[in-house]
Amino acid sequence: MKRALFPGSFDPLTLGHYDIIKRGVTLFDEIIVAIGVNADKKYMFSLDQRKTFIEDAFAHEPKVKVVTYKGLTVDFCKEIGVEFILRGLRNPADFEFEKAIAHTNRKLAKVETVFLLTEAKTSYISSSIVREVIRYNGDYTKLVPDNVRVK
């Protein structure tokens, strides 16, 4: 069974993330959306909210599982027996950053990174942009799945 880990902070889940996961399930038998926990990072949404956003968005997709983890992504892959990491690329800067991480991960473990290009219509969306729109009371609903709402 081909399983891929899609790691991130998902603060919050965006339409770009959603697109990569939806397309990833056509390539893999299971997509494990892994929310990384970093005690030093200040999040807008709680871990429980972020997990719920993803679970609700994929409630009818049995091939998507949502978990949380701490530490190196590659160590978590080894721990749960996953050989693929799925990553989305929006632009050349993403590629350069992700390429270095992919090479490092392959050096540390037998883990292959698979890149999917985001759709053009979501390539400008990032979680940090969504958070900024939310902070200034903008219409963030055009950037996230329907179930992602600020309360």
Active site members: 17, 41, 90, 127
Neighbours of 120 (CB within 10 A): 8
Round to whole Å and give the CA distance between 148 and 146: 6
Asked whether 111 and 131 are in contact (CB, 8 A), the reply is no
Neighbour-count burial for 98-113, b at 16+ CB within 10 Å, e otherwise? beeebeebeeebebeb
DSSP structure string for 57-85: HTTT-TTEEEEEEES-HHHHHHHHT--EE
Round to whole Å and give the CA distance between 151 and 149: 6
